[in-house]
Amino acid sequence: MEMLPKMNLAELEEKLAQGDYVLFFTADWCPDCRFIKPAMPEIEANFADLTFIQVDRDENIDLCQEMMVMGIPSFIVYRGGKEVSRFVNKDRKTQKEVEDFLTAAK
């Protein structure tokens, strides 16, 4: 999974202008993020039509504020440069919940 370098929302939207993406917002210190991380390779494999990008909340705190991502882990789907769906809250997420969200976002 690609790691997003530090950037602002305008730079991110330019990066995501072409293609279908899932932004995975996380932080090393977050226990709920550590809970879902082992499932991420399988989730990525099950949704191979999407490009997954990991966003470190601490490195991209300004971007998270611009995007109103206040809880982690969180997921946002972009298609053709536009946000189409989000699963953003501070709750622990299971693999099934994430996969159900991604299926609904198609």
Q: Which residues are catalytic?
A: 30, 33
Rounded to the nearest 10°, the torsion over CA 69, 71, 72, 76 is -30
Rounded to the nearest 10°, the torsion over CA 60, 92, 38, 33 is 20
Q: Torsion-angle region of residue 68: left (phi > 0), alpha (psi -120 to 50) or beta?
A: left
